Each structure stands twice: as structure tokens, then as C-alpha cells.
Amino acid sequence: MFYAIIGEDVPSSLERRMEIRPEHLARLQALQDEGRLLLAGPLPAVDSPDPGSAGFTGSLVVAEFDSLEDAQDWADADPYATGGVFARITVKPFRKVFPS
């Protein structure tokens, strides 16, 4: 089943986010290589694809896991979670309808 993982950043997280981004991306690449990643990306703090110094308010990952517990464990081990970028993580089951 797919799960939506929403990580919400702590204030002023941009510098730390950029420092540990390669580790975060490596984990996402592994999910993609396994065919389990539906989509992933940051949530800009302003209405722009490049928010510059405004940074980001969080990240969204939608990926396939065996269970909600597995998805939560994966999210909790993410470098953004362990490295102080995320203040909070929400994991919810997700049912893909479109595109079909």
C-alpha cells in the first residue's frame, strides 16, 4: 500500500536541510530503484519553484510500504528527521486514484 509522509520543518531549517540533503536523496533514490516511490519533493515556503532564502516548510513523500508501521519507521529514520530538519512527521495511508 502507498503511504503519504509529510515532514514539517522547524523554523529556519534551510541551512541544515541543504547540509544533509544528499543523505535524504540517497534514501529516496533507493525507494525509486526498488520501484516503490510514487513521488517526492519539498514544500516551498513561498509560491515559487525556487524559494531562495525563504526555504521550505517541509517535504512530501508518497511511497509503497508493507504497513503503516514500516512507513513510520522509514520516515523516523530519514536524515531530515534524525538531523533536526523536521519538527513533526505525519504518515497516512494513501490510495492512488489518478492518474490511472
For residues 23 and 80, give the distance between their C-alpha atoms in angstroms, rounded to a whole number. 9
Predicted local distance difference test score (pLDDT) of residue 7: 98
Q: Give all strands of the β-sheet with 37-44 in edge-to-edge order.
A: 37-44, 56-64, 2-9, 86-94
- H-assigned helices in the chain: 14-33, 68-76, 79-82
Instruction: List, for residues 37-55, the tens digit of each pLDDT value.
Output: 999 999 999 999 999 999 9
For residues 56 and 11, give the distance between their C-alpha atoms in angstroms, rounded to a whole number. 9
Predicted local distance difference test score (pLDDT) of residue 25: 98
Predicted local distance difference test score (pLDDT) of residue 1: 98
| C-alpha cell at position 35 | 520501484
End-to-end CA distance of the chain: 15
Instruction: List, for residues 67-80, the tens digit of each pLDDT value.
Output: 999 999 999 999 99
